[in-house]
């Protein structure tokens, strides 16, 4: 699961015109976002990677902690809720 989140973060950051660098610890970001949906992660990338931030990437590389305030505004999907949803969808 963690590897999937790393790949998802990488692809969404690039899709939103971000740049991957050594200052961006994607594996830690993936661990922090376990329990969030891919849609949530896409929302966070869009919220952080606005036009002005993209213009500043050459001077100031992305850091994982830039994504945390936007992420904190979203409630994760907990395992119990996910299991309950799976049970309901199979009935």
For 15-46, write each residue's pLDDT tens digit. 999 999 999 999 999 999 988 999 999 999 99
* pLDDT score recorded for residue 47: 97
Protein fold of 2-90: Helicase, Ruva Protein; domain 3 (1.10.8)
Give the distance, in angstroms, between the CA of residue 42 and the centroid of all CA atoms in the same chain: 6
DSSP string, 1-33: -HHHHHHHHHHHHHHTT----TT--HHHHHHHT
For 67-81, write each residue's pLDDT tens digit. 999 999 998 887 666
Q: pTM surpassing 0.75? A: yes
From residue 12, give the alpha-carbon distance in Å to each of 57, 84, 87: 16, 28, 30
* pLDDT score recorded for residue 43: 97
| Domain range list for the chain | 2-90
């Amino acid at each position: 699961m963690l590897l999937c989140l790393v790949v998802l973060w990488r692809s969404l950051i690039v899709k939103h015109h971000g740049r991957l660098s050594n200052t961006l610890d994607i594996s830690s970001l993936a661990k922090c976002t376990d329990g969030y949906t891919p849609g949530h992660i896409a929302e966070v990338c869009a919220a952080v990677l606005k036009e002005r931030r993209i213009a500043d990437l050459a001077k100031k590389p992305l850091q994982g902690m830039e994504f945390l305030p936007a992420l904190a505004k979203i409630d994760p999907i907990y395992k119990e809720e996910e299991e309950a949803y799976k049970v309901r969808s199979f009935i």
